[in-house]
């Protein structure tokens, strides 16, 4: 089994392992789960494995009380408010979609996403500029792995279920607080 361990660890260190994208590697990960957890713990990481959703990734382990934090293996990058808003809206839409129980894949058209965001944007006479900004934000979220553009259909996006692992109730609560502070700031500016 030790010779199989690198076949699981290296892809995990590079990103997410999806059950449907690589079933053989996924099964190896399930079989070696305890060993993988031991090894990545040495680096201050923890394995996040969601069997129900079919994905696994590594994240920085929070230090225990009184423990000195380790240097971050992967630096955090702050998200812009528009990207954070879009992530929160996509997460809410995924929650609504799951509650409907219709299908397992949430696919949204760019125009649907634009309508979700438009409610939060100030009135603008320059629609092209708003859509350019949305396209940049969608590209950023796609690079982060939370959206996947459907092949041959540039305006259709599948919301990746891994979004649920990153955007949880605590994140949404903190974002709502930041959004309220941002609104107060905008009101004071006007």
pLDDT tens by residue, 48-87: 999 988 999 998 888 888 888 888 877 677 888 888 889 9
Which domains are present in the chain?
A: 5-60 (1.10.10), 81-189 (1.10.10)
Element (H, E) at 107: strand 106-109
Q: Report the pLDDT value the prediction gives residue 150, as an integer from 0 to 100.
A: 92
pLDDT tens figures, 164-176: 888 877 777 787 7
Alpha-carbon torsion angle 174, 179, 181, 185, nearest 10: 160
Place of tokens 């990153």: 166
Contact between 108 and 156 (Cβ < 8 Å):
yes
pLDDT tens figures, 112-122: 999 888 877 76
User: DSSP state, 151?
Assistant: T
The Cα-based distances of 98 to 46, 106, 119, 124 in angstroms read: 27, 9, 23, 33
State the pairing for strand pair 147-150/55-60: unpaired
Contact between 41 and 59 (Cβ < 8 Å):
no
Whole-number Å distance between alpha carbons of 58 and 142: 19
Closest of 32, 99, 45 to residue 74, by C-alpha: 45
State the pairing for strand pair 55-60/106-109: unpaired
Residues in the chain, total: 190
Whole-number Å distance between alpha carbons of 38 and 47: 9
Range among 19-23, 94-98, 127-131 with highest mean pLDDT value: 19-23
pLDDT tens figures, 5-52: 999 999 999 888 999 889 999 999 999 999 999 999 999 899 999 998
Q: Report the pLDDT value the prediction gives residue 22, as an integer from 0 to 100.
A: 92
């Amino acid at each position: 089994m030790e010779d199989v361990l690198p076949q699981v660890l290296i892809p995990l260190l590079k990103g997410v392992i999806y059950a449907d994208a690589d079933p053989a590697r996924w099964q190896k990960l399930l079989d070696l789960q305890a060993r993988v957890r031991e090894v990545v713990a040495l680096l201050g990481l923890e394995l996040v494995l969601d069997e129900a959703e079919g994905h696994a990734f590594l994240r920085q382990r929070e230090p225990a009380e009184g423990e000195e934090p380790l240097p971050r293996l992967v630096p955090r990058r702050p998200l812009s408010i528009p990207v954070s808003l879009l992530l929160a809206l996509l997460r809410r839409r995924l929650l609504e979609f799951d509650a409907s129980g219709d299908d397992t894949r949430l696919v949204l058209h760019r125009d649907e996403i634009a309508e979700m965001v438009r409610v939060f944007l100030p009135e603008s006479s320059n629609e092209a500029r708003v859509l350019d900004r949305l396209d940049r934000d969608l590209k950023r979220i796609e690079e982060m792995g939370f959206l996947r553009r459907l092949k041959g259909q540039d305006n259709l996006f599948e919301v990746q279920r891994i979004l649920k692992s990153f955007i949880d109730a605590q994140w949404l609560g903190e974002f709502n607080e930041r959004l309220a502070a941002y609104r107060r700031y905008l009101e004071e500016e006007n």
